[in-house]
Chains A and B, each alone.
Chain A
Amino acid sequence: MLRGTNAHRASALGAGIALAVGLGIAAPGSAQDGSSLRIGIVTFLSGGAAGPFGVPARNAAELMVSALNEGSVPAPYDSKGIAGATIEPIIIDEAGGTQTQVSEYRNLVERQNVDLVIGYISSGDCQAVAPVVEELKRLTVFFDCGTPQIFEETVTDPQYLFRTGPTATMDSVGAARYLLEVAPDTESFAGINQNYAWGQDSWNDFVAAMKVLKPEVEVVGEQFPKLYAGQYGAEISALLTSGADAVHSSFWGGDLEGFVFQAAARGLFQRSKVVLTTGETAMFRLGAQMPDGSIIGARGPHGVFAPDSPLNDWFRQQYFDRYGTWPTYPSYKMAQAILGVKTAYEKAAGAGGALPSQEEVIAAFEGLEYEAPSGTVKMAIGNGHQAIQGVTYGIYSYDRDSGQPSLTDVRSYQAECVNPPDAVKSLDWINSGFEGASC
């Protein structure tokens, strides 16, 4: 009796599944017809990373795609579309974990038949997707994830995978250099970082860099609260009692903002110099709540650190007009990924203008140098697949009369100063005393 019910139900479900599969297979996966370029875009649309990273990146993607399709981007990007083809974006949520993301990547490439994929903020997702990129042989551009392991360990001989954003090593190396330049008598420092790969790696890189630049400096505290903990009372007490001259934090999103509220209320920012390597994402929202004197980073020359140029001015104004807030570094990094793709495609297409093959695009992309709203992007390491850029830090201050935040004492470190040379692993490079760096 039981089995009868089961079998009946199983067959009903089976029929439903067959139907769904049929629909799925029949669902749009239009073949390339040369006049449109399908680009899969993967970024966080839900969860804690959506607000600070995912949605600004998606906004920039939509802005760039519609502007490029109209041909309204300033030179040298003023041609319509990419090599004449209209861009068709397919936006996917990066949430759900690595198993889901690997599955969704395969769906993008095989079911939705995209021509290329741009995306991925989480290093875990990048790690999991990287070998699949090479397996499925579809051009893919990582635009934000920071782990240096992608080309150092996971895919050491990339063919189809590119990353147009520098690794996170740069943030910590730049932070250490900047801190010791503006506060040379720093003798001790502590850190509060989220307890997961990003926080752990950022802290390790920072400690290693500090030890190289000033060997006698002392680490007096290491806090690793859980990701999304939100409440940092005990950690802040520990930092206060440690008496550190400087505090390093790679916090982002709600954690960063909560930490700033709670730490500022208790005077941590007065007792120590606080370095916030991703602080730029929160600076407009926090406004007057971010204490003056905080050291702010933007994971590169993005946002308010971006050099003046027609491209940057256009980008900032367009973004503000469309979304009511200034673009932050995830938006810049997405824009530079899309522009990199466009440059590679058009370089490969040449004067003829017909849509080039994937191999031609890849050949053009390797070692490419191009201009983005945040300056020059050089695909200089990782066999020409990994970009390097400089990093900039500044000291925050808020003008209560005008209601505008600003950054003073801004210092930039060029790309070759804060990125390892080609074929050298990041941590080895730091521990060797930054061998081969030119500052």
Chain B
Amino acid sequence: MLTAVAIVVDGAVFAAWLFIVSVGLTLIYGVMRILNIAHGSLYALGAYTAAWLVGAYFAQGYPPLAGYLLLPAAALLVGVVAGLAIERGVLRLMYGRDEVIMVLVTYAIFLVLEDVIKLIWGVDPYFAYQPYGLLGTVDVLGLPYPIYDLATIALAIVIGAVVWWGLNRTRVGKLLIAVIHDREMSMAVGIDVTRLFAVTFVLGAVLAALGGAVSAPKISVVPGIGVEVIVLAFAVVVIGGLGSVGGAMIGAVIVGFARAAAVHLLPEAELFVIYAIMAAVLVVRPYGLFAKPEARRI
């Protein structure tokens, strides 16, 4: 019984984290058809910026609760600055190229950013643990859970709701959906696709950085944290269907609960349960669970 409850709560916490980290990736792919490997670096940049800001803030002794605002602030900063720099500086020169070329471009950007991060922040770890412990813990059937972790579940739901509302209820969002469905037609009816690309990439970058910023208080921010995230985020968005935000949520839930179950029930399988699920989903639904199959050109 306790194990079952633990699986549910652990699964939800991990799924929430996965969703926050992956939703930007799926959005960028859906609109721009770019599988952004640099997503991992944006996550890392968000984590480093947040950790650095939080560390400096708490060292000054300012009121602790306001420190939480630093996390989304760091995400916004990184997302706008790095996102614009990447999109305007590099990606703009490569639009129209093949999808796979774009993946390689983002991989190259990822390599460069890894060293940039190392040059700026060095190889020593950064900590931002204060926000993690401030909220205290709550007992779930005798198992203590930090309220911060449960708060990330709420945050994921909020982000999901905001993204959904933004896509479906605002003008820009509807334009984005149009571009996701059919880029050529959108251009034909006069939508400024290039500007929308910038908007989307920055948005995706902000979300990636937010994932990093939200993680910073519970981890040790070291070089290389971006690499792990890439593979996990990929698995989640592929399972859910590339380009589908709802799919990302379902994918995150599936992967999160599967991993929690594996850890509690069959720890040996934990290493490849994610890939096994990804393979299994792709075998049954080749485009992922919620993507729309694309019409083939004849």
A-side residues, CB < 8 A to B, are 45-48, 50-51, 54-55, 195, 222-226, 228-231, 233-235, 237-238, 240-241, 253-258, 261-262, 265-267, 285-286, 289
Contacts and interface: CB of A to CB of B under 8 A. Distances in A.
Given A55-B123, A265-B146, A241 B263 contact: no
A92 to B, nearest CB: 16
Main secondary structure on A side of the interface with B: helix
B166 interface: no
B2 A253 contact: no
Nearest to B229: A230
A54 B263 contact: no
B223 A50 contact: yes
Contact of A266 (B123, B129, B144, B263): B144
Nearest to A253: B222
B124 interface: yes
A226 B218 CA distance: 17
B17 interface: yes
A45 B118 CA distance: 10
A117 to B, nearest CB: 22
Interface string B103-137: 00000000000110010000111010100110001
Interface core residue of B9, B124, B129 (most chain A CB under 10 Å): B129
Given A54-B123, A231-B215, 5 more contacts: A223-B263, A224-B271, A228-B228, A234-B14, A266-B145
Interface core residue of B11, B127, B224 (most chain A CB under 10 Å): B224
A237 B11 CA distance: 11
A255 to B, nearest CB: 8
A228 B271 contact: no
B220 A195 contact: no
B14 A222 contact: no
A257 B127 CA distance: 9
A47 B3 contact: no
B267 A233 contact: no
B291 to A, nearest CB: 27
Given A226-B228, A226-B270, A48 B223 contact: yes
B228 to A, nearest CB: 5
B240 to A, nearest CB: 20
Contacts of A237: 6, 9-10, 143, 263-264
Nearest to A285: B125
A285 B129 CA distance: 12
A240 B10 CA distance: 13
B220 A254 contact: yes
B25 interface: no
B263 A46 contact: no
Contacts of B127: 257, 261, 285-286, 289
Contact of A289 (B129, B215, B222, B263): B129
Contact of A234 (B225, B259, B271): B259
Contacts of B132: 261, 265
A51 B264 contact: no
A223 to B, nearest CB: 6
Contacts of B125: 51, 253-254, 257, 285
Contact of B218 (A47, A51, A195, A261): A261
